[in-house]
């Protein structure tokens, strides 16, 4: 299957990456992990909501890193991802716990699923109980606002 490739993919320039743990209420929208590239595309900042276990924060951060670089490589615009995520959250049916990236219509569906698979493998290697981890992530939304408790990793 042919895929679009970023014009940056053959560039020899480096990319600076930072992963920062932040208070959940400081996220740009209802998400536990968010990524943003600088205007020149050579700096990637990832923000992860503070969780009870450093391993949980690492899992979210690594998920975001993988998803971001795969989106960059595929030429998927960051703003397109953000617009989709926000619209998904606004239209989320009551009781739906899916992440926006799980939706087959998400512009970054493939990239999200790859990041999700690696996140799950790493969770196993770190001895993280996925069910408890997932519940903690969902509980952040309940703490932030009343609703169905859905929360996303981008």
Q: 35: which strand partners?
A: 46
Higher pLDDT, 125 or 27: 125
Give pTM, 2 decimals: 0.84
Q: 13-27, pLDDT tens digit by residue?
A: 789 999 999 999 999
Give 80's contacts (C-beta < 8 A, 6+ positions apart).
107
pLDDT digits (tens, 9 = 90+) for 51-68: 999 999 999 999 999 999
pLDDT over threshold 60, residue 129? yes
pLDDT at 138 over 90: no
Q: What is the pLDDT of residue 97?
A: 76
CA dihedral angle for residue 55, residue 61, residue 64, residue 67, rounded to 10 degrees: -70
Q: What does residue 25 show for φ and ψ, rounded to 5 degrees?
A: -65, -10
3 state SS of 87: helix
């Amino acid at each position: 299957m042919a895929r679009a490739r970023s014009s940056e993919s053959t560039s020899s320039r480096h990319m600076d990456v930072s992963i920062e743990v932040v208070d959940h209420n400081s996220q740009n929208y209802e998400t536990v992990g968010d990524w943003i590239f600088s205007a020149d595309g050579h700096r990637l900042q990832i923000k992860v909501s503070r969780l009870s276990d450093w391993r949980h924060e690492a899992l979210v951060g690594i998920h975001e890193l993988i998803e971001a670089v795969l989106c960059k490589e595929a030429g998927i615009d960051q703003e397109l991802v953000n617009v989709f995520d926000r619209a998904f959250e606004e239209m989320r049916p009551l009781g739906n716990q899916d992440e926006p990236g799980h939706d087959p219509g998400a512009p970054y569906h493939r990239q999200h699923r790859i990041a999700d698979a690696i996140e799950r493998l790493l969770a196993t290697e770190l001895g993280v109980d996925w069910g408890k981890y997932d519940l903690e992530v969902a509980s952040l939304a309940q703490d932030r606002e009343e609703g169905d408790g859905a929360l996303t990793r981008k």
